[in-house]
């Protein structure tokens, strides 16, 4: 990643979290991740392949090239693809800012949960547009931590979330980038742009989302940055632990949790 440190790191726990996140959100963010038969799609920033296995399985007649900067993640993604017998994906190490592909190579490009970590999202999007064919579609999916609300309310829980927002900002990213997908796509000259909010609403009548989203995706993500936030003096351990406890509290039988992802589609003229 250009001059930055990936805020969540590359631990085994983070790989597990990315997989939980992808499986839990499949219906919400990938219900329309459908690509034409025999087309070539670039997945930019595939990480350990958590989204790759979903989109590749949904589109068995489409060919994917999935790239990431992290050598370790690439290795893991390759192993996973092989173990699942997925044969329509090629995984490669590459930097989104300098893609090793000729202009207009791909019919579509998809980027999921990556722009939020980049110091220069517009530069990255221009590079993705370069390798996209004329008439091709760019798809981006991003979260927005500012869209989080829950019951019971808790200033400690918000403070813990803010630690993540601050840390991500310090490493050049933007945890609230979801709301910017439309202006970002506009700024790189895409047309026919359509952005839709994908709200995840969770209460205890949706036990799969209580486990998969409140606990294993969102709270696990915030919990994961605790040590860094405390080390950097952004918070103290007592305040942070209260915040985490209150986030888990929203997963109890009377709790409610809401978060909105944004998915954008745009076309290259
Ligand atoms: C939050 S992970 C998302 C991974 C995957 N898309 C998913 O949703 O599970 C962000 C990924 O972006 C990758 N990344 C960040 N900057 C990159 C760059 N300049 N080029 C390629 N990959 C990059 C990181 O290595 C990391 O794997």
CA–CA separation, 207 vs 171, rounded Å? 34
Share of the chain above pLDDT 70, in %: 98
What are the structural domains of the chain? 12-267 (3.40.50.150)
Atom of ligand 1 nearest to the CA of 70: 25
Task: Tally Cβ neighbours within 10 Å of residue 166.
Answer: 15
pLDDT in tens, 143-171: 999 999 999 999 999 999 999 999 999 99
Q: Burial of 27 by CB count in 10 Å (0-12 exposed, 13-18 middle, 19+ buried)?
A: exposed
pLDDT in tens, 209-239: 999 999 999 999 999 999 999 999 999 999 9
**What ranges make up the beta strands (E) of the chain?**
40-44, 63-68, 89-93, 106-112, 132-142, 149-151, 191-203, 256-267
Question: Does the beta carbon of 6 sit less than 6 angstroms from any atom of ligand 1?
Answer: yes
Question: Does the beta carbon of 195 sit less than 6 angstroms from any atom of ligand 1?
Answer: no
Q: Burial of 230 by CB count in 10 Å (0-12 exposed, 13-18 middle, 19+ buried)?
A: middle
Question: Does the beta carbon of 150 sit less than 6 angstroms from any atom of ligand 1?
Answer: no
Question: Does the beta carbon of 69 sit less than 6 angstroms from any atom of ligand 1?
Answer: yes
Q: Which pLDDT score is estimated for 9?
A: 77
* Whole-structure pTM value: 0.94
Q: Which pLDDT score is estimated for 2?
A: 43
């Amino acid at each position: 990643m250009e001059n930055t440190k990936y805020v969540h790191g590359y631990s085994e726990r983070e790989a597990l979290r990315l997989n939980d996140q992808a499986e839990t959100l499949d219906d919400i963010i990938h219900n329309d991740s459908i690509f034409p038969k025999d087309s070539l799609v670039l997945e930019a920033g595939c990480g350990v392949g958590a989204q790759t296995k979903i989109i590749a399985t949904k589109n068995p007649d489409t060919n994917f090239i999935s790239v990431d900067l992290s050598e370790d993640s690439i290795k893991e993604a390759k192993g996973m693809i092989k173990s699942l017998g997925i044969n329509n994906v090629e995984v490669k190490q590459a930097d989104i800012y300098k893609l090793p592909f000729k202009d207009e190579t791909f019919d579509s490009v998809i980027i999921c949960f990556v722009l939020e970590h980049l110091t220069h999202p517009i530069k990255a999007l221009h590079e993705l547009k370069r390798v996209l064919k004329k008439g091709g579609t760019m798809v981006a999916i991003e979260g927005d931590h500012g869209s989080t609300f829950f019951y019971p309310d808790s200033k400690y829980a918000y403070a813990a979330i803010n630690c993540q927002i601050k840390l991500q900002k310090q490493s050049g990213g933007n945890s609230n980038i979801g709301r910017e997908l439309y202006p970002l796509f506009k700024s790189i000259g895409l047309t026919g742009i359509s952005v839709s909010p994908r709200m995840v609403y969770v209460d205890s009548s949706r036990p799969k989302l209580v486990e998969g989203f409140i606990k294993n995706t969102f709270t696990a993500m915030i919990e994961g940055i605790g040590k860094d936030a405390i080390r950097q003096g952004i918070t103290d351990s007592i305040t942070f632990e209260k915040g985490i406890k209150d986030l888990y509290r929203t997963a109890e039988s009377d709790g409610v949790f809401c978060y909105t992802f944004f998915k954008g589609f745009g076309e290259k003229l």
